[in-house]
A and B are shown apart, each in its own frame.
Chain A
Amino acid sequence: MDAPRDGACWAFIRGSFELFVYGWYPEPERWRVNLSFLLLVIAIFGVLKDNLPGKKYWLWFAVFFPFIAAWLLVGGFGLVPVGTQKIGGILLTIIVGVTGITFSLPLGILLALGRRSHLPVLRAVCVVFIEFIRGVPLITLLFVASTMLTYFLPPGSSFDLLMRVLIMVTIFAAAYIAEVVRGGLQGLSSGQYEAADALGLTYWKAHRLIILPQALKISIPGIVNTFIGLYKDSVLVLIIGMMDILGLGRARLNDPLWLGLAPELYLFIALFFFLCCFSMARYSLGLEKKLRTGHKQ
């Protein structure tokens, strides 16, 4: 490829940069998106950084962050409402990824505990749910969300497509998290359960104070890998017509000015995902090493 054309095509990507980042989010309200990004960075920092003073408050902030961000982005309660169909591009990708990640973890833990429960009915329900979700492709679940879910709702009611997709993605990731956490629970020696019982702790207290902290620690690498998978899977929303970064890029390719620029476009988007996922993967690798040496001591 000759140089001038090469330069030109990257110029187009630069020209569409705003669209790629914000989708069609109204120009005057974009500070809300920027603020959300900033809060996200703070939340991630608070979760990942060890030995932060007041770590507890950082974690609480991370728990509340998705709700704050939802309010900021969608509006209402004093802010100008913005329809979810205006959301697109990297913003959409990150919304799908972050929502899935935050909500699938607690749901996954519950499913894992249910699958290991002594109560046959509870166990059966969890097994069927987990294995069903893991047995079908995410795209079929998204089709269900986009075409079939309205039949399940009370007549006349409807709710937002983005919301439906977020629920599906969360459920999908939760099934995988459940299996990772179950592996962590199985990795604990039965002595830990017995010790907890011997102390007279109730089921929930034993799990909250003794079992889960250890099991989750073992499962962190697996959980991060599931998150990476989820983040990559977020591009699938394009197939049901939502415009994430990949969807917008492809729409751009129909623009005569962009004709033949597919390789550059895909490379650009691939690099975007690579940077996000590779850094998550490195982080998980570092944790794994730290855990391994931690166990030796």
Chain B
Amino acid sequence: MKDNSSQASNPLTRLWRNQESRGVIIQIITITLLFAIIALIGRNVVINLAALDKEFSFTFLTWPAAYDIGFSPFLEYTSQSTHLKAAAVGLLNTLLVAITGCIFASILGFTLGILRLSKNWLVNRIAYTFVEFMRNVPVLIHILAIYSLIITLMPPVKKALDLGGGQFFISNRGFYMPSPVFEPGAWMVGVAMIVAILSVFLFRRWAKKVQDNTGKIYPVFWISIGIIFGLTGIVFIAAGMPLSWDVPALKGFNFKGGMAIKPEFLALWLALSYYTACFIAEIVRAGILAVSHGQTEASKALGLRNNRVLQLVVIPQALRIIIPPLSSQYLNLTKNSSLAIAIGYMDITATLGGISLMQTGKEMETMILVMGVYLLISLCISGYMNWFNRRIKLTER
């Protein structure tokens, strides 16, 4: 056998044997390789661009985009607008579908997760089948299928389906519903709502203080709801109901008035939401199951009522388990929203990474921007979720 402690004569071997110097050598090699690759790619890019007579610059963002975007609820956009503006519209559309999608996915996901725990066999099985089927089929297929369902199975605009009292319609061009019209005095209702929300916060703090001092327990949840609806409602009536609805009506070839939700948005939003909801359902179910039965029993044995057992014991423990995987589902939904391009919903990938890329031939610049935007969104979501997680994190163990 060779004796390991014997000094190797070769100085290079000695360096390699020393733990510290070996680390330095490996790192130097890593850096050298990295820079070599970057340099090589850089050289290739320069040569390739020169050969195609292109230059690397972001000035194209100020050029007119010269294409239409059918769905821009927040910004005024025409085909004369710049690529930058098109990108902004796309970003807002991405955020719109991501945020509304996360909200709906959470509601649906928590509901499905709780239904999965139901003791009713039928309810349980239905939820199980739904969750398992939906989450094992690629989300792109969901998006395409829903979209094609809307545009092929829904009637044309002229025969739009009346979903309720001549107020809500659905056709293959979208979903139409009344939009609120604020009349003079509406600001008072808005103020009342803000005041109500603020006073709910104050009330909650006050109720907690009262409980700490006297032990009296108020039905905080119901009183909060009462304050929000009561105060807003009273002011609404007192101000002479300064709100009317602009009802969509069929005029000629299209609906006039009201709000229209485009089929592209509807399909993307629905498919992303229920697809993600199925994953959230499993997370919620696992989180609640992970709170041991003994916890519920111990709280019941102490005389706590069922709703208090949930509020004080089960939910705080389950949330701790649920939140980290939940945040990665939100990230997934946001990234999956880039599939919008398959049905022509104009998100950031479809505008900047799609049409702008094609029209300007700036493959590299546009892709760098698009990826940067997604990275930024991902960073924001995971940063926020980490902060939230730390806030409710337990010091236990």
A residues lining the B interface (CB < 8 Å): 118-122, 125, 132, 134-140, 143-144, 147-148, 150-155, 228, 232-236, 238-239, 246, 250, 253, 260, 262-263, 266-267, 269-270, 273-274, 277-278, 281
Contacts and interface: CB of A to CB of B under 8 A. Distances in A.
Contacts of B44: 151-155
Contacts, number: 127
B378 A135 contact: yes
Nearest to A139: B338
A238 B140 contact: yes
B339 A236 contact: yes
Nearest to B370: A140
Contacts of A125: 30, 34
The 9 closest A-B pairs by CB, nearest first: A277-B136, A266-B145, A232-B138, A135-B378, A137-B338, A137-B335, A121-B27, A262-B148, A135-B375
A263 B367 contact: no
A155 B336 CA distance: 34
Contacts of B367: 140, 143-144, 147-148
A208 B9 CA distance: 30
B342 A119 contact: no
Contacts of B338: 137, 139-140
6 contacts: A119-B27, A125-B34, A236-B140, A263-B148, A273-B136, A274-B133
A140 B374 contact: yes
A269 B45 contact: no
Contacts of A269: 141
Contacts of A232: 136-139
Given A136-B374, A262-B152, 15 more contacts: A119-B23, A132-B375, A137-B338, A144-B367, A151-B364, A155-B44, A235-B138, A238-B140, A246-B144, A250-B144, A263-B148, A270-B137, A270-B141, A273-B137, A281-B136
B136 A278 contact: yes
Contacts of A153: 44, 48
A150 B44 CA distance: 9
B241 interface: no
Contact of B145 (A236, A239, A262, A277): A262
Contacts of B392: none
Contacts of A270: 137, 141, 145
B367 to A, nearest CB: 6
Nearest to A229: B332
A118 B23 CA distance: 8
B364 to A, nearest CB: 6
B339 A139 contact: yes
Nearest to A272: B137
B345 to A, nearest CB: 13
Contacts of B133: 274
B31 A151 contact: no
A101 B363 CA distance: 29
Given A137-B338, A235-B140, A239-B342, A119 B51 contact: no
A74 B144 CA distance: 31
The prevalent SS among residues of A at the interface is helix
B75 interface: no
A273 B145 contact: no
B45 A119 contact: no
B145 A155 contact: no
Contact of A152 (B27, B45, B137): B45
Nearest to B376: A135
Nearest to A122: B30
Interface in B335-362: 335-336, 338-339, 341-342, 349, 353, 357
B47 interface: yes
Contact of A140 (B26, B48, B371): B371
B136 A263 contact: no
Contacts of A136: 335, 371, 374-375, 378
Contacts of A278: 132, 136
Nearest to A262: B148
B123 interface: no
B210 interface: no
B149 interface: yes
B379 interface: yes
Nearest to B141: A270
B38 to A, nearest CB: 10
A135 B371 CA distance: 8
A193 B39 CA distance: 38
Contacts of B47: 155
B289 interface: no
Contacts of A138: 335
A260 B152 contact: yes
Contacts of A121: 27, 30-31
A236 B140 CA distance: 7
A18 to B, nearest CB: 22
Nearest to A260: B152
Interface string B92-128: 0000000000000000000000000000000000000
A262 B141 CA distance: 11
A278 B49 CA distance: 46
A140 B352 CA distance: 11
A138 to B, nearest CB: 8
A266 B148 contact: yes
A266 B150 CA distance: 14
A228 B136 CA distance: 8
Contacts of A263: 145, 148-149, 152-153
A140 B31 CA distance: 27
Contacts of B336: 137
A247 B348 CA distance: 23
Contacts of A281: 132, 136
Given A144-B367, A155-B51, A232-B137, A135 B379 contact: yes
Of B31, B49, B138, B145, which is in contact with the most chain A CB atoms at under 10 Å from its CB? B138
